[in-house]
Amino acid sequence: MGVACDTSAARLADSRFMKAVHRQPVDTTPLWIMRQAGRYLPEYMAVRSKVSFMELCKTPELACEVTVTARQVLGVDAAILFADLLPILEPMGIDLEYQKGEGPVIHNPIRGSHDVDRLQALTSTESVDYVFQAIRLIRAALPGDIPLIGFAGAPFTLASYAIEGGGSKNYVHTKSLMYNDEGAWNVLMSRLVDTVILYLQAQIQAGCQCVQVFDSWAGCLCPADYQRYVLPHVRRLIQAVEPLAPVINFLNGNPALLSLQRQAGGQVMGTDWRSSLDVAWQTFGHDVAIQGNMDPVSIYADLPVLKQRVGDVLRLAQGRAGHIFNLGHGVMPDMNPDHVKAVVDYVHELGRR
């Protein structure tokens, strides 16, 4: 058993994706795609049509099936756990519902310090054990040289959902609490960080080789606000997780935050398309890997144009070790799956060293 485990670990460490994470030379640029298991894929919809979204997330066998199938169909270099950012909030005291056509809705949003008091940090991950069951099934089903990426929402993104009650265009409630009651804000963020640390550590222990922290909404902040209200919490989170596995720190929506994102930590910096890849990498420093960053809307382009856009991103990486190709955000539900598969082929073809 020990020899088999050592061999498996060596194969994963020698994988294209993990070598890029550690900024080691690879034969061609590795990639995975955010939301690679999603509604654009017929194979996903064949499963999703039979169950609700939450049932899919909470049924380990089904979460395993859509994770592994998407990786296999696309031919990407890593699988990402099929799950969602928000169910971790449920056992903390949040009443979460996914409404058809509306997305996630929180029925008891946090609006003041009295509401923060009812949100409790998890001391055990037993309430979300279905996630770790799925990870163990996925790891057993994946090829031995394909890493599995786990993930969680960053504290600001989770806080904004919990406070706004869903998505938001201007984050008025979130920023109002942040500005008007900094003490309550820091308590909320600390409880979220404590919970996410446990959650990500347990994902790694269950079989993930790398984890991504999604700060999908932090781009709404100016640099001064990110530095004051968010940076210390993200830094504490990443510092607690990185000893167990590499962390991809993904921040969406605001190039002005790149240098602060780097200060928050992570072995890989995930960036969206609003920055040129070479400029972003220069800002981060070349002593970290970078992930990104083609505009997802490029997938709607005709194939010759799409190939050119893939090539544009790869040229900006300049063949430097440590580039993981990805979209700047996720695949959209009405995208042509053949175009998504073409991106994978183009990256592997054009990215050959």
CB atoms closer than 10 angstroms to residue 246:
20
Residue among 39, 111, 235, 320 flagged as catalytic: 39
The residue behind tokens 């780097």 is: 262
Q: Is 161 a catalytic residue?
A: yes
**Comparing C-alpha atoms, which of 195, 190, 238 is closest to residue 215?**
238
Active-site residue (options: 40, 44, 161, 226): 161
- Pick the catalytic residue from 23, 40, 44, 48: 48
Contacts of 282 (CB under 8 A, 6+ apart): none
Q: Give the integer Cα–Cα distance in Å for 200 and 237.
A: 10
DSSP string, 90-125: GGGT--EEEETTTEEEESS---SHHHHTT----S--
Catalytic residue flag (residue 48): yes
Closest CA to 162 of 86, 253, 251: 86
Q: Which of 43, 55, 177, 58 is nearest to 129 (CA)?
A: 58
39 is catalytic: yes
Please indicate whether residue 71 is annotated as part of the active site: no
Q: Please pick, among 16, 23, 35, 139, the residue that the annotation labels catalytic.
A: 35
Rounded Cα distance, 180 and 176, in Å: 6
| Catalytic residue list | 35, 39, 48, 84, 161
